[in-house]
Amino acid sequence: MSEPTTQSKKLQWKWIGISIVLYALFYLLPLMLAILWSNAIASIWVFAGVIVVGAVAGYWSEDVTIWEPAIAGAGLMLLFLIAMVVFIPRQIDILNATIGMTIVMAGVFLLSLLGAWLGERAQKLWKSKPSESAQKQ
């Protein structure tokens, strides 16, 4: 008999923070290295990496965390936009960068949402559940 999966009504801020770290380490860092090594690999990782990292966050979390990786991904893109404006203000048109980054943030949000959902599905299918005898002890 399968147990119903309930999602908490509150956001799990811990998993938003963990997801931001995951995106920084396992999405942005490999993306920067891939750009230096091969544009084809970087092009693939731009989309696939968001889904993969969102899925990993969804899989590792204890509870159902679908919105948290999506919020973290969009938040990381917002931080990236702020960093661009602060560190290279004369070389970019802020209005065009803001419009472009808003589109990118929406795309990252949706891809992260897909990845987190896939991670939660994988968690439900692959993670072993404690047996009933172990739960009674």
**Mean pLDDT, to the nearest integer, of 119-133?**
78
Phi, psi (rounded to 5 degrees) for 123: -60, -45
Mind listing the pLDDT tens digit for each residue in 12-42? Answer: 999 999 999 999 999 988 888 888 888 888 8
Mind listing the pLDDT tens digit for each residue in 59-73? Answer: 999 888 999 999 999
What DSSP line would sit under 63-132, residue for residue?
Answer: S--SHHHHHHHHHHHHHHHHHHHHHSTTSS-HHHHHHHHHHHHHHHHHHHHHHHHHHHHHHHHHSPPPPH
Distances (CA, A) of 13 to 4, 51, 58, 61, 121: 23, 20, 14, 12, 21
Comparison of pLDDT for 121 and 91, the residue scoring more: 121
Provide the residue ranges of all domains of the chain, joining segments of one domain with +: 13-124
Q: What pLDDT band is residue 135 in, cutting at 50, 70 and 90?
A: low
